[in-house]
Structures are given as C-alpha cells and as structure tokens.
C-alpha cells in the first residue's frame, strides 16, 4: 500500500507556499477562475466566450487574437503543453495513465516526457437564424497530437471537437462532435485523460443535440439536454464490434439553485444523466450477439465557499467501454456477455490565492467480479478493480504561463483466465506512484 503520509506532507507544503504568496480579494479570485486558466471543461468554455473583451482589457493592449471575415469573428485558442512524469511501476500508456500494469507483466519503473497534449482550436461566431430573435451561430474545431503515432517524437493529429451550434442563451441546437451529454464534470488533474477508465466516464462523439434552460427565478434554473449520438467502440481485441440499427441515446436533467443566496454568489448544481443503446459483437467463432449498453449517472457541483469547491460523479451501468468505463472493458470474451460496473470520483478544489490552486481527488472504477472472466483481450487478461488518488498544485506565473505538479497513487487488480483448466488466477496488483510536472503556455 502507498504511504499516505506523503499526501499530508504535500498538502501542508502547498498551504505553506500559499501563505507566503500575497492574498487576493475573493472577487478577483472568481474573475480569474472564469477565464479558464486551468482549462477544465466549464472554465474553458467560459474562456472562449470572454477572451476577446476581458483578456484584452486586463492586458491593457486593447487588442485581441480574434479577427473578422465578413460576418464571422474567428478566435484561435489553445496551449503548448509539456508533461514530464516518473512512475515507480509502469502504467498504460505511460505518457498518461489509464490504469496500472501488474508487476507480473511489467515490473519496471518508467520516465516519460510528452509534448503531444499540445492543443489548438478555432472558434467561429456569426449571426443566428433569421426570425429567431437573439440567436447566434458558432462553429468550433479543435485537435491535439495524441493520435496514432509511429515514434514518440512524431505525434499525429487527433480530432477533439468539430461542431456547429445555434443558440439564443436558453435553447441550443448542436450538430457535430463534442463532449458527451452524460457526466459533464472533470477532475482537475494534470493527467491527459482526466480520470477516464478510473471513475470519470464520458468522452467525445458525434451527435445531434438540443439543450434548453428553464429560468424559474433569478436564483434557480432547470436544464434539459437530449442527444442522438454515434457509436464508439473500445472492445476490439478478442471481439469485433459493429454498429446496430439504432443510435445511442443520451439525456441529462440538471437543477441549479442558490445563486445569490450565498456570500460567494455561486449556484449549487445537481444533475442526473443516462445513455442507452445497442451494439453488435462478433466473437471468435463468428458468433454474433446484440448486446445493450446503458448507464445511470449523477453529478454534483457545490461551491462551498468563494475559494473551496466540491465536485463528484457516480455511474452505474453495463457495457461501458464505449464511455470509458469498466476499466475499458465492455464485454467479456469468455462469457460472451456484457460487463457491469460502477464507480465515480469526488474532489475538493481550493483556490489558495489568485495564482495558486490545489486539488485533491479520489477516483474508482469497479467492474462486477462475476462479470469479468477473461475480459476483452486476446491474452485472457482482465482487470476487475482500479482506483487512483491524486493531489496537485497549479501555479500561474502569468495569464499565459502555468506550471503544475501532481502525485498520483494508483492500484489496479489483474487476473488471468486459463483456457485449459477454465480457472481464474489473480495477479499481483499494480500499485505505482506517479509524479508529474506540467508546463503549459496558453493563448
């Protein structure tokens, strides 16, 4: 087991640093968060909307990166990112971690330096639909360099977003690839995958989507979201997946309240979401089965004070590899049936000063043991439990330059299926400690 006294020591060190740095009024801290310096999903969307005016006025230059082309306003955005990490035991994939490897399979430590998380994008804004009062249209295309590559210094493009939307502030229609509707929150980790396969379900996929917000009063609102989405397959070794004749359906309901009730003026948001669909799998003897995929999810966002926030998500479902759940296992090749799983994550965020933020998070993904025999790999290896606990500190030297340091404590349980004896043998759990340093320059 990892020595958790390291966490306490690291947290105390972080608070000591924050005590040395000059404190900033609470209103200024909130303004800094809204600009999305740390580029979590919510902060990042706010950054896109406010960059032209707020960032330009703060810099005093009166200029912006945006330019005009006819009726369009085009804004480039992104960051240059470098991550250096050391692992006491190997993880998959190394440059970033989705689960820990068993020492029985790989008992070496590892060191990685990775620039491929560098991200670039364009946002285009223009007028809306004639006759729809107050509407505007926007298009977004975004990519990084974590696609398939032949050597470590030859990253290839990975499409992240490509969509067009029309909205009036309350109703929004979207067509293209964007983040999924379900489980919209993300842990503030330096790890590229943001908790995927270890408790944070959801990814990006093509969709047709509609959102609508009902404003009850100045302090509360209710949001409904519905989408028809594409199939995404992650089981592809011992089984061959294919689309069914139906799309995957996603939906979410969220209630926000308390805006203006509390001194910090931020609302509490409670959400429930779900997806349901069907996928076809072909097993080794050309045996085809149509298997369901579904999930039920809960998300909670509670700003406890101006500086301290709490977020959590929970999921339950089956055949969840399509949404990065079940430790990336949706079906079991030996049972030829779906794998059920549950899990989630909970995190505290503390904005110590204008420039310093700390995060503490626990994440877990727990497939049902009876459902996992040989997993979805051709070597009869499978994973039946995984968790990660991390703590980090993010420091903004300027509006553009951020450095962060994170310590992750991983534990992943493995097993091997013997086809001759038809028995399952546990392997030694992977328990690496991962140290990661990130330098990020945002524009």
Instruction: To the nearest 10°, report the CA torsion of 63, 68, 73, 74.
Output: -80
Structure confidence by residue, pLDDT tens digits, 20-42: 333 333 333 333 333 333 444 45
Query: What per-residue confidence (pLDDT) applies to 2?
Result: 46
Cα–Cα distance for residue pair 16/10, rounded to 1 Å? 10
Instruction: Identify the CATH homologous superfamily for domain 5-148+157-442.
Output: Porin (2.40.160.10)
Structure confidence by residue, pLDDT tens digits, 110-137: 999 999 999 999 999 999 999 999 999 9
**Lowest mean pLDDT: which of 60-64, 106-110, 216-220?**
60-64
Mean pLDDT of the chain: 86
DSSP 284-343: TTS-EEEEEEEEEEEEEEEE-SSSEEEEEEEEEEES-GGGT-TTT--EETTTTEE-EEEE
Neighbours of 329 (CB within 10 A): 28
Cα–Cα distance for residue pair 387/209, rounded to 1 Å? 32
pLDDT band, residue 47 (cuts 50/70/90):
very low
Structure confidence by residue, pLDDT tens digits, 378-415: 889 999 999 999 999 999 999 999 999 999 999 999 99
pLDDT band, residue 187 (cuts 50/70/90):
very high
Query: What per-residue confidence (pLDDT) applies to 63?
Result: 53
417 has a pLDDT exceeding 50: yes
Mean pLDDT of 221-244: 88
- Residue extents of the structural domains in the chain: 5-148+157-442
Q: How far is CA 228 from CA 61, 168, 253, 275, 298, in A?
A: 44, 21, 16, 10, 20
């Amino acid at each position: 087991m990892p020595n958790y006294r390291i966490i306490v020591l690291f947290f105390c060190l972080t608070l000591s640093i924050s005590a040395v740095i000059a404190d900033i009024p609470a209103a200024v801290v909130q303004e800094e968060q809204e600009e999305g310096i740390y580029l979590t999903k919510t902060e990042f969307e706010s950054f896109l909307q406010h960059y032209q005016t707020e960032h330009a006025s703060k810099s005093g230059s009166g200029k912006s990166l945006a330019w005009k082309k006819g009726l369009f306003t085009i804004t480039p955005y992104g960051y240059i990112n470098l991550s250096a990490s050391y692992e006491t035991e190997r993880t998959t994939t190394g440059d970033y971690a989705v689960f820990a490897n068993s020492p029985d399979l790989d008992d070496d430590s590892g060191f990685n330096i990775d620039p491929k998380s560098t991200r670039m994008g364009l946002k285009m804004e223009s007028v809306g639909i004639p006759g729809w009062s107050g509407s505007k249209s926007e298009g977004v295309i975004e990519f990084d360099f974590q696609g398939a590559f032949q050597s470590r210094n030859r990253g290839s493009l990975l499409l992240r977003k490509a969509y067009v939307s029309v909205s009036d502030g309350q109703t929004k229609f979207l067509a293209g690839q964007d983040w999924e509707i379900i489980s919209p929150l993300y842990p503030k980790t330096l790890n590229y995958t943001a908790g995927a396969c270890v408790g944070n379900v959801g990814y990006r996929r093509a969709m047709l989507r509609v959102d609508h917000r009902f404003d009850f009063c100045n302090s509360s609102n209710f949001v409904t979201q519905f989408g028809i989405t594409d199939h995404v397959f992650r089981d592809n070794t011992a089984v061959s997946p294919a689309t069914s004749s139906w799309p995957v359906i996603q939906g979410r309901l969220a209630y926000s309240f308390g805006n203006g009730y509390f001194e910090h003026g931020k609302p509490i948001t409670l959400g429930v979401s779900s997806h349901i669909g069907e996928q076809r799998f072909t097993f080794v003897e050309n045996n085809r089965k149509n298997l369901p995929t579904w999930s039920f999810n809960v998300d909670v966002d509670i700003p406890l004070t101006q500086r301290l926030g709490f977020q959590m998500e929970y999921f339950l479902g089956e055949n969840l590899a399509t949404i990065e759940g079940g430790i990336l296992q949706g079906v079991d090749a030996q049972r030829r049936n779906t794998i059920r799983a549950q899990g989630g994550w909970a995190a505290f965020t503390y904005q110590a000063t204008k420039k310093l933020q700390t995060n503490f998070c626990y994440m877990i993904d727990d497939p049902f043991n009876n459902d996992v025999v040989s997993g979805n790999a051709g070597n009869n290896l499978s994973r039946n439990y995984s968790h990660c606990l991390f703590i980090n500190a993010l420091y903004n030297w300027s509006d553009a330059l951020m450095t962060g340091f994170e310590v992750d404590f991983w534990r992943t349980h493995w097993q091997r299926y013997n086809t001759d004896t038809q028995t399952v043998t546990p392997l030694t759990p992977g328990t690496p400690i991962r140290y990661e340093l990130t330098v990020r320059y945002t524009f």
